[in-house]
Amino acid sequence: MTPASRSAGRRSIKLLALLEQGTISGEALSRKLGVSRQAMHKRVESLRGRGYGIEGRPRAGYRLVSRPEGWVREDILRGLRTKVLGRNPICFESVESTQEEAKALAAGGAPEGTLVLGEVQTRGRGRHGRSWVSPRGGIWASLILRPPVGPQDAPLIGQIACLGLAEAAEAVAGVRSLVKWPNDVLARNGRKLAGVLAEMSSESERIHWLVLGLGVNANNPLPAGLARTAASLKSVSGKPVPRTEFLQRFLSNFEKAYFSFLAGERNGFHASYRRRSHLRPGDRVTIRDGDAGTKGRFVRFDRDGALVQRTDDGRLIRHLAGDVA
Assign domain 73-276 one CATH number from 3.30.930.10, 3.40.50.2000, 3.40.50.450, 1.20.140.10.
3.30.930.10
Pairing relation of β-strands 88-95 and 323-324?
A: unpaired
The CATH number that domain 3-66 falls under is 1.10.10.10
**Is the model's pLDDT at 68 over the cut of 70?**
no
Same fold, 3-66 and 73-276: no
Residues 217-270 have pLDDT tens digits of: 999 999 888 888 999 999 999 999 999 999 999 999 999 999 999 999 988 899
34 Rama sector, left if φ>0, alpha if ψ -120 to 50, beta otherwise: left
Burial class, 297, CB count within 10 angstroms (exposed 0-12 / middle 13-18 / buried 19+): middle
Task: Kindly state the helix (H) or strand (E) to which residue 62 belongs, with its residue range.
Answer: strand 61-66
Residues 290-302 have pLDDT tens digits of: 777 899 999 999 9
* Residues facing 114 on adjacent strands: 88
Q: CA-CA distance, 99 to 132, in Å (whole number)?
A: 12
Q: What is the DSSP string of 202-213?
A: E-SS-EEEEEEE
* Residue 128 binned pLDDT confidence (cut-offs 50, 70, 90): low
- Closest listed residue to residue 240, CA positions, set 119, 111, 138, 129: 138
Tell me the HSE value of 292 on the side-chain side, using a 13 A CA sphere: 5
Q: CA-CA distance, 18 to 42, in Å (whole number)?
A: 16
Residues 73-106 have pLDDT tens digits of: 888 998 899 999 999 999 999 999 999 999 999 9
Residues 164-205 have pLDDT tens digits of: 999 999 999 999 999 999 999 999 999 999 999 999 999 989
- The ranges assigned to domains in the chain are 3-66, 73-276, 284-324
CATH 2.40.160.10 assigned to domain 284-324? The reply is no
Q: Which residues have a Cβ under 8 Å from the Cβ of 276 and sit 6 or more positions away?
A: 163, 166, 177, 178, 179
Could you tell me how far CA 94 lies from the centroid of its own chain? 17
Q: Which DSSP category does 181 fall into?
A: T
Distance (Å) of CA 309 to CA 178, 186, 192, 269: 20, 21, 23, 21
- Closest listed residue to residue 217, CA positions, set 160, 272, 180, 173: 173
Q: pLDDT at position 13, please? A: 75
